Structure 1
Amino acid sequence: MGRTAIVTGGTRGLGKAIALALREAGHQVAANYLYDEEEAHAFQREHGIAVYRWDVSDFAACCEGVARVEAELGPVGVLVNNAGITADAMFHKMSEEQWWSVIQTNLGSMFAMTRPVIEGMRARGFGRIVNISSINARKGQAGQCNYAAAKAGIIGFTKSLALENAARNVTVNAVAPGYCDTPMVAAMRPDVLAAITAGIPAGRMGASADIARTVVFLADEAAGFITGATFDVNGGQYLA
């Protein structure tokens, strides 16, 4: 049974793959974005998925955005908290702006996006929330204290929210991707990418579809007995 699904950061990278996979699974998808309006509308024209612009770190904007989606597409039954940014620097050189921008967007958005949908999910007796964490939440990463802290916070948020809502048939799970074929990863130097790939037992970078398939499974009604879990999708690079 298809539901209305919101995917934050849903017009590019992992979010784009997730939005397309959810649509293929029969969901009515709303893809949120903030930057690159031209790219977002090209995505909408090509794939027929509605796009909505708001800042996931802004609670008021999220409330307004969710209300608009629900008015146009129906009650939200699936939320994928995918939007995220990086602002890498060694901690002793990290600015306050680099710290807080990543914390607010990557972790603050968990509250800002989930709070407007959780009461409706509880009242209707169904909800699927999937939060995108990271391999670096598990193992840490030099130059990413801000990013790793935010992504690790997502795992704690996921477990706690899962406990609060399990009895209402609202599941909350996390996916911790390894290095995948996204624009964020592609921006790395070729020698760095080669070294990373050499350290992945599966012998390759992840594909966006690898992550998307996991999210689609967790969003399904059949996954109703899985909650509070973190799925490591990293080709064996790090085993938690």
Structure 2
Amino acid sequence: MIIITSASRGIGKFLFEKLRYEGKEVIGFYNNTVPEITDGYYRLDITNEEQTKAFFIENRDKFKNIVLINTAGISYNSFGHKADLTQWKNVIDVNLVGCFNMINTFLGVMREDNFGRIINFASVVGQKGIPGTSAYASSKSALWGMSRALAVENGNKNVTINNINLGYFNIGMIEQVPENYMNTLVESIPAKRLGNPEEILSTVKFIIDNAYLNGASIDLNGGLF
């Protein structure tokens, strides 16, 4: 079973639809953005431990050979000295704590099955040092250390934990990039283009199929560093 967070919009929605079309058993979580078609979707606040644990207990018999894809993410842009701490911490709660909450919820059954694939979506933003992105960069770069620790803990159970460090793609948060900055952004990418969502899908499939790839962070960014 493939489980996708933030599956009602952006990259999560794209992966949900593509993988279901291919005949995979897929469920998707959403919170604020209600999907147009609700089949296979469940409303869940991934930062809420009680909700996630209750969902797991209620549906325990359905979970087998789990692939968990954590695409959920929010951003908050502000220079550090002007940042609102509540909004800053909210980014950490969703992007990092929410991600770990999902992993913590399903990791036990993965170990029992002697199979599991966890794919976290990180970002080139954590590598570059972009003004105003301290919350987002902190939340995404923290996934690297978390994944390596979990990879060591679970490698002998055929459970892998890897990250995809996304560059800029013509889907998802690219909508937040000002139009007058887009040309400059594209020119800064060695590939001279935005990424295609299909390239995300092929990377996800590669990680799922490769049992020896563990604790890694794949830079999917067109050569942008």
TM range (shorter): over 0.9
State the TM-score, normalized to the length of structure 1: 0.88
Residue 68 of structure 2 is aligned to residue 79 of structure 1? yes
CA distance in 2, matches of 1:208, 1:125: 30
Q: Which residue identity lines up with residue 224 of structure 1 in the other structure?
A: A
The answer to whether the 8 A contact 2:122-2:165 is kept is yes
Residue matched to 1:197: 186
- In 2 relative to 1, CA 55–22 (structure 1 residues): closer, same or farther, beyond 3 Å? same
The 5 Å alignment of 1:119-198 reads 119-198=108-187
Alpha-carbon deviation of 1:236? Answer: 0.6
CA distance in 1, matches of 2:108, 2:172: 35
The answer to whether the 8 A contact 2:166-2:220 is kept is yes
Q: Which moved more, 1:203-212 or 1:93-102?
A: 203-212
- Ranges in structure 1 where 5+ consecutive residues have no aligned partner: none
The 5 Å alignment of 1:24-35 reads 24-35=21-32
Alpha-carbon deviation of 1:25? Answer: 4.7
State the TM-score, normalized to the length of structure 2: 0.94
The answer to whether the 8 A contact 1:63-1:113 is kept is no
The answer to whether the 8 A contact 2:92-2:139 is kept is yes
Alpha-carbon deviation of 1:65? Answer: 3.0
Q: Which residue identity lines up with residue 27 of structure 1 in the other structure?
A: K
Q: Which residue identity lines up with residue 224 of structure 2 in the other structure?
A: Q
Alpha-carbon deviation of 1:61? Answer: 1.6
Residue 39 of structure 2 is aligned to residue 12 of structure 1? no
Q: Look up the SS of the partner of 1:173 in the other structure.
A: strand
Q: Which residue identity lines up with residue 59 of structure 1 in the other structure?
A: E
Alpha-carbon deviation of 1:43? Answer: 4.0
Q: Which residue identity lines up with residue 237 of structure 1 in the other structure?
A: L
1:140-181 Cα offsets, whole Å, 9 max, x none, are 221010100010001111111011101000011100100111
Residue 62 of structure 2 is aligned to residue 62 of structure 1? no
Q: Look up the SS of the partner of 1:225 in the other structure.
A: coil
Q: Structure 1 residue aligned with 2:211, among 204, 217, 224?
A: 224
Q: Look up the SS of the partner of 1:165 in the other structure.
A: helix
- In 2 relative to 1, CA 68–14 (structure 1 residues): closer, same or farther, beyond 3 Å? farther
Q: Look up the SS of the partner of 1:203 in the other structure.
A: coil
- The sequence identity of aligned pairs, in percent, is 32
The answer to whether the 8 A contact 1:21-1:213 is kept is no
- Ranges in structure 2 where 5+ consecutive residues have no aligned partner: none
CA distance in 1, matches of 2:29, 2:222: 28
